[in-house]
Amino acid sequence: MAYQPKKRKMTAEINVVPYIDVMLVLLIIFMVTAPFVSQGVDVDLPKTQTAETISQLNKDNDTPPIIVEVDKDGNLGVSINNDDMAHGLSLDELIARVKAELARDPKTLVMVGGDGRTPYANIVETLDALSHAGVGSVGLMTDPLDKPGK
């Protein structure tokens, strides 16, 4: 009897060990670098393209809005019924004036505007005080973004 070699069946298998090694190395790199990635960006909040005018917001009411301003140093001002801006108010004086006007006409809009260099904390503090005073809705004033070609 002559020697007959065994016929072996070919199998096609993918060796995944190198892929797992690469994946683990990438996972370690991402885990190490994740805490160093910046979580915020510098933005200029006061400009927007979707800003609506006061007349668009106040179409149901003829009363001019109450305008509260916060300057770059955190000083407060208020304008009621399109009067001149009263500057240098404390937060309590501002709230008292706004509450008095809203008691007279509860549908009056309250708009808060801040200088572009105003710290965000000053705006939030003013919004929080207005909320605690019972002002239901406050709008944020912005300048329209200049459109190209104009």
Has residue 123 got a pLDDT over 80? yes
How confident is the prediction for the chain on average, in pLDDT? 77
Binning pLDDT at 50, 70 and 90, where does residue 86 land?
confident
Has residue 144 got a pLDDT over 70? no
* Cβ neighbours of residue 133 closer than 8 Å, sequence gap 6 or more: 95, 98, 99
Helix/strand/coil percentages in the chain, nearest 5: 35, 15, 50
Mean pLDDT on 111-132: 84
